[in-house]
Amino acid sequence: MNLKNLQIGLFIPCYIDQFYPQVGIATLELLQKLGLDVHYPLKQTCCGQPMANSGAEKEAISTYKNFIQNFSPFDYVVSPSSSCVYHVREHYNILEQTDEVKKVRQNTFELCEFIVDILKTDDLKIEYPHKVGIHQSCHGLRGLKLGSPSELVTERSSKIHQLLSKAKEIEIIIPDREDECCGFGGTFSVFHPDVSVSMGKDRLSAHLRNGAEIITATDMSCLMHLEGIARRQKHNLKAVHIAEILNSNRL
């Protein structure tokens, strides 16, 4: 398989599109630097998770269909969001499983797993002289199995650590309770605001306590929540999506 001939569809989740364009740009640039033919279908919107997580899966079907329509022409769909990718793979089961749907579900990848599992590389020649706290987004960790969750008695592994540990001069910070949820949880963050914020505050202190200057994750949604609390509390902790770190290379 010649990777250069592959057509890659870039999926930029709705809230990244609207609020964090730099994450989309980093993802696109990184994939291009890796020599891939990347396309961004302009009619894409969202994976449909906001409705489905709130119980309104049926209301999300048109959004699902829009996603399939936009991305079925591609060999792979790559996205800087483990949560959205997990949603496409796991919850598009309610659609009629046509060849198109099956293809999209199988070929949609989160950025880090795409790099490690499909491109089979982990050294992106990065130099990143910062103290980086890794937040393990739950859908990436327990859903996509980007790493071994602390609950399981399995060999410890993590694609995120694998990629970041290759960076020169980086200091990786592991927070206490290494993979506890940040409390975002999609609409949970607004329907259960007190618990959600309390979880977020605890996550932040676990990173700060251990000396993190930057907090990174595979999901900007976790970071949006954590950053929102940090800014309100005037903490000096920067949230940077992992795509931005991985794109800081000189390939």
Partner 1 sequence: MTGHAQQAGQFLKNRERAAWHDETLWIVRQKRDKMARAVPEWEDLREQASQIKQHTLSELDNYLVQFEKQAQKNGAQVHWAGDAARFNEVVSGIIKENNATKVVKSKSMLTEECGLNPFLEKKGIGVTDTDLGERIIQFREEPPSHIVMPAIHLKKEEIGELFHEKLHTEKGNFDPTYLTAAARVHLRQKFLEAEVAITGVNFAVAETGTVVVCTNEGNADMGVHAAPVQIHCVGIEKMIPRMTELGVFIRLLARSATGQPITTYTSHYQRPKPGGQMHIVIVDNGRSEHLGREDYRNALKCIRCGACMNTCPVYRRSGGHSYGSVIPGPIGSILAPHSHIKNYNDLPFASSLCGSCSDVCPVKIDIHDQLYRWRQDLSEKKRISPTKRHTMKIAGKILAGSKMYDFSGKMARWGIKNLPRKLVYNRLNVWGKERELPEVPKESFKQWYKRTQQGKGGKNGQG
Interaction between residue 157 and partner 1 (CB under 8 A)? no
Using left for φ > 0, alpha for ψ between -120 and 50, and beta otherwise, residue 177 falls in left
> Which residues make beta-bridge pairs with 9?
39, 77
Stretch that binds partner 1, among 71-79, 125-133, 149-157, 162-170 (CB under 8 A): 149-157
Q: How far is the CB of 185 from partner 1 (least distance, A)?
A: 3
Interaction between residue 171 and partner 1 (CB under 8 A)? no
Please give the Cα distance from 137 to 223 (Å, whole number): 9
Site for partner 1 in 40-79 (CB under 8 A): 40-46, 48, 50-63, 65-66
Interaction between residue 144 and partner 1 (CB under 8 A)? no
The smaller minimum CB distance to partner 1, of residues 64 and 128, is found at 64
How many CB atoms lie under 10 A from the CB of residue 2?
5
The smaller minimum CB distance to partner 1, of residues 61 and 119, is found at 61
The DSSP-derived string for 184-206 is -TTTHHHHSHHHHHHHHHHHHHH
Dihedral pair phi/psi, residue 39, rounded to 5°: -125, 140
Please give the Cα distance from 162 to 160 (Å, whole number): 5
Q: Which of 6, 14, 95, 116 binds partner 1 (CB under 8 A)?
A: 14
Q: How far is the CB of 10 from partner 1 (least distance, A)?
A: 9
Interaction between residue 194 and partner 1 (CB under 8 A)? yes
Report the amino acid identity of residue 43.
K
Query: How many residues interact with partner 1 (rule CB under 8 A)?
Result: 81
